[in-house]
Amino acid sequence: MIDETESAVDSQLLAYVDGALSPIERQALDARLTSDPGLKERVDALAAGGRPFAEAYDLLLRNVPHERLTAALDRARATFAAGRAEKRASAARRWLRPMAAALAVFLAGSAVGLGVGHFVVDAKVGDQSATGDGGWRDTVAEYLTLYTRDTLANLPDDPSVREAELKSVGDKLAVPLSVDKVALDGLLLKRSQLYNLDGQPLAQIAYLGPEDGPVAFCIIAKDDGDRPPTFEERQGKNIVYWSKAGHAFMLIGNLSRSALETLAASLAARVA
């Protein structure tokens, strides 16, 4: 009786039987087999367990219920589409309320000549986990899926407004911000806004790229320790996130990973 151990020897013998050894390994083992009957016996036992496996499994492939599987795929697609629509609707519900409030504050501010700088919104957004590890990025990513080029395209490009927005947002987050600090090559700085995520201020600085559409640089006060820029994907968006000095940062958009990483490195060097 041959012992079923997980030994390296058995692994090597298996690879031998399967023809998975390199020619040199094979030669070496061939030489040992001629002089070691015990080893030869084990190889023979493994070889005796060989079967025309592929042919046997092909029999199953010839009996696939094609119609049922096509129907299964259709059902999966329908469930997926329905789930996505619900997710979009819920993201919209969650964000439209603070957005409407922000717009009201903005309009009121403009009317009395205060201009920008009062984007603070009190409405609670997100669930309890929204500020948890990665949760805030998910919320931001979900929100950004609602953005199109048109969301940002018609905003007036007034440098003094941009500076004022950035100063206001930066003051709230205790991060010095200016057009010089956040300008990104190839992207047009369009707007800086403050949101409230579970009681914490969340800054969103929005850009528009000529090809890849909206890009957002977001900041939240969050003590994660210092972490270097890291790439991830959420909600179909590419993201680079990092943290430094009590703040978590993320840059998100449809840019390629390499383009996004370059821009994030540039921001990380200037903003802290």
Partner 1 sequence: MTASGHDAVMAGLASHLDRLWRYGLVLSGNRTVADDLVQSTCLRALERSHQFEAGTRLDRWLFSILHSIWLNEIRAARYRQGEGLVDAESALVFDGIKEIETNILAAQVLREVQSLPEAQRETVFLVYGEGLTYREAAEILAIPIGTVMSRLAGARLKLAALASDETDDEVKKRK
- Please give the residue ranges that form the binding site for partner 1 (CB under 8 A): 2, 4-6, 10-11, 13-15, 17-18, 20, 45-66, 68-70, 72-73, 75-77, 79-80, 83, 233-238, 254, 256-257
Q: Which is nearer to partner 1, 11 or 129 (CB)?
A: 11
Q: Which is nearer to partner 1, 27 or 79 (CB)?
A: 79
Shortest approach of partner 1 to residue 260 CB, angstroms? Answer: 10
Q: Which is nearer to partner 1, 46 or 183 (CB)?
A: 46
Which positions ≥6 away from 119 have C-beta within 8 Å? 102, 105, 106, 165, 168, 169, 193, 194
Q: Which is nearer to partner 1, 3 or 180 (CB)?
A: 3
Shortest approach of partner 1 to residue 187 CB, angstroms? Answer: 18
Shortest approach of partner 1 to residue 145 CB, angstroms? Answer: 11
Shortest approach of partner 1 to residue 10 CB, angstroms? Answer: 5
Shortest approach of partner 1 to residue 252 CB, angstroms? Answer: 11
Q: Which is nearer to partner 1, 16 or 249 (CB)?
A: 16
Q: Which is nearer to partner 1, 17 or 182 (CB)?
A: 17
- C-alpha span between 267 and 272 (Å, rounded): 9
- C-alpha span between 116 and 107 (Å, rounded): 9
Shortest approach of partner 1 to residue 230 CB, angstroms? Answer: 16
Please state the three-class secondary structure of 154-184 as a single string: CCCCCHHHHHHHHHHHHHHHCCCCCHHHHCC
